[in-house]
Amino acid sequence: MSSDSASGVAPTEFLAFLRSVVPLESHEALCNSVLPAIIDSIADIAKILKSSHKVALAGSANAFGDDQLNVDVSAENAVRAAVAKCPAVVTASSEEDPIEKPARESGNIPAQGTQSEKYTVAFDPLDGSSIIAPNWTVGTIVGIWEGQTALHQAPAEKQVAAVLGVLGPRTTAIVAVRVPGTEGICFEIGIGELGAKDSEIVRPSVRLLQPPFKTRYFAPANLRAAAEDQRYADLVNHFIQQKYTLRYSGGLVPDVVHALVKGHGLYISPVTSASKAKLRRLYELFPIALIIECAGGKAIDPADGSDILQRPAKDTDERAGLVCGTAEEVELAKKSLLQ
């Protein structure tokens, strides 16, 4: 029995919804502890950003050699602190600290909860650092995996949940849960200042629409690659000629979430010999692919057309391109880029 049920306190709207759609007999800690902690951390990051009027280099670099901003470090600490409170989370790694390590110091394990469930959290604490200074919407990307590691595991089976936190005028999140034996769900919540405690279910089901479409959207990331790859240039020109609506902010999270909110869209980030892949499979591509698939869309690697969730990650720094969104549009892009 969960702690709130035992105390006689009614579960929050977020918890009540999770319990209604996820089989609790096997994933109670995921619903009662892990996902609420992630939502709490997103609320904390939103507070950090609201008070961080000066965005500056922190004077440090992450393990990949990327310069860190002060807000990157603060967001990293917020997620780490949240997962450390979850007994079921045994391992965590992030784009800022890409080494899988215990989620908390040895011996410092909270007493509540069940130890029969074990999870690994892999996250990008603040996606969109390049557009945060002008105060554009940015995000947090989180993947939750069964077991003690996310490496060498089948992404389509072992990654059981993903969260895209949207840090803009409003603080929201798109959440996907696909545990073994279920088709998967995708929903949207509004996050209050108290995190999961005062979150509101905005849309209980997030689904990409079926044709015909009233308006069609595209987001061409890495547009410089169009000067290097005629196939990409032709694809972008096709969207323009067909009067698709351009919606591209330069932030992965807001651009993907835009498609999920509108019900249609295509995000494209191709790779060429001159424009190398930047998106990390473990911290960005896997969580986004799970969310897109649970919303009825597709997510593929533009290099070979394979599903993003098809191959396990062998290293935390593996990178790839991305084409994701409405299934019909992904197939069109796949044919165009691989012809």
One-letter-per-residue 3-state SS of 17-42: HHHHHCCHHHHHHHHHHHHHHHHHHH
| pLDDT over 70 (residue 129) | yes
| Domain 3-203 annotated CATH 3.20.20.80 | no
φ/ψ of 183, rounded to 5, equals: -80, -20
Better-scored residue on pLDDT, 8 or 330: 330
CA dist., res. 113 & res. 111, Å (int): 7
Give the CA distances from residue 193 to residues 22, 251, 331, in Å, rounded to whole numbers and listed in that order.
Answer: 25, 23, 40
Single out the residue of 203, 210, 148 nearest to residue 175, CA to CA.
203
**Angle at CA 3, nearest 5°, toward 44 and 74?**
15
319 burial via Cβ count (<10 Å: 0-12, 13-18, 19+):
middle
Express each pLDDT in 187-231 by its tens digit: 999 999 999 999 999 999 999 999 999 999 999 999 999 999 999
At 52 the pLDDT is 79
| pLDDT over 60 (residue 7) | no
Query: pLDDT exceeding 70 applies to what percent of the chain?
Result: 90
For residues 150 and 143, the answer to whether their CB atoms sit within 8 Å is yes
Q: What is the pTM of this model?
A: 0.92
CA dist., res. 145 & res. 123, Å (int): 11
At 24 the pLDDT is 75
First-to-final CA distance of the chain: 55
Query: pLDDT exceeding 90 applies to what percent of the chain?
Result: 81
CA dist., res. 210 & res. 9, Å (int): 41
CA dist., res. 103 & res. 108, Å (int): 10
Better-scored residue on pLDDT, 55 or 166: 166
At 113 the pLDDT is 44
Average pLDDT, the chain: 91
Q: Indicate the residue type of 177.
A: V
| pLDDT over 70 (residue 232) | yes
Summarize the confidence of residues 126-139 as an average pLDDT: 92
| pLDDT over 70 (residue 326) | yes
SS3 state at 315: coil
Domain boundaries, the chain: 3-203, 217-337
φ/ψ of 165, rounded to 5, equals: -85, 130
| pLDDT over 70 (residue 6) | no
At 139 the pLDDT is 98
At 62 the pLDDT is 62
Strands 266-269 and 217-220: parallel
Summarize the confidence of residues 68-73 as an average pLDDT: 84
| Domain 217-337 annotated CATH 3.30.420.40 | no
| pLDDT over 80 (residue 86) | yes
